[in-house]
């Protein structure tokens, strides 16, 4: 298995683990659940912005919407705590650029790999 395949496999494992953990949460844990959604538009040449933030049922809804729309997710309690202190529609502060940039770079890489995989599947499906 090459590096790209390992990364894709790891992403799927993490997403499955996150879904499984959501199902196992107690009611009190669900009330403490926190989720933050960020948006980054490369064409805008602006910093990523906070588009959703919430705890408890709101957090659960954010995660469900992300899952339904195949939006990549990651779990980082410390980063969520920092980002939750920001107002909706505010840009990510400069001191968090590096970590957010690393996350976005990883997500963009995974998306490119998924597209390549889909194109290969389409190509070989047409041969049969």
For the whole prediction, is pTM greater than 0.75? no
Residues 118, 104 contacting (CB under 8 angstroms): no
Distance CA 41, CA 101 (A): 13
Greatest distance between any 2 Cα atoms in the chain: 54
pLDDT per residue as tens digits for the range 16-71 = 766 666 666 667 666 678 999 998 888 888 899 999 998 888 888 888 888 888 78
* CA–CA separation, 26 and 23 (whole Å): 9
Q: Which CATH class is domain 3-125?
A: alpha beta
């Amino acid at each position: 298995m090459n590096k790209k395949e390992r990364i894709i496999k790891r992403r799927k494992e993490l997403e499955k683990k996150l879904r499984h953990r959501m199902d196992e949460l107690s009611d009190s844990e669900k009330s403490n659940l926190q989720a933050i959604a960020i948006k980054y538009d490369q064409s805008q040449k602006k910093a990523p912005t906070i588009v959703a933030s919430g705890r408890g049922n709101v957090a659960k809804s954010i995660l469900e919407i992300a899952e339904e729309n195949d939006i990549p997710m990651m779990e980082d309690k410390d980063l969520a705590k920092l980002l939750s202190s920001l107002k909706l529609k505010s840009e990510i502060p400069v001191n968090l650029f590096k970590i957010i940039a690393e996350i976005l770079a990883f997500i963009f890489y995974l998306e490119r790999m998924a597209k390549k995989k889909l194109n290969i599947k389409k190509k070989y499906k047409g041969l049969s």
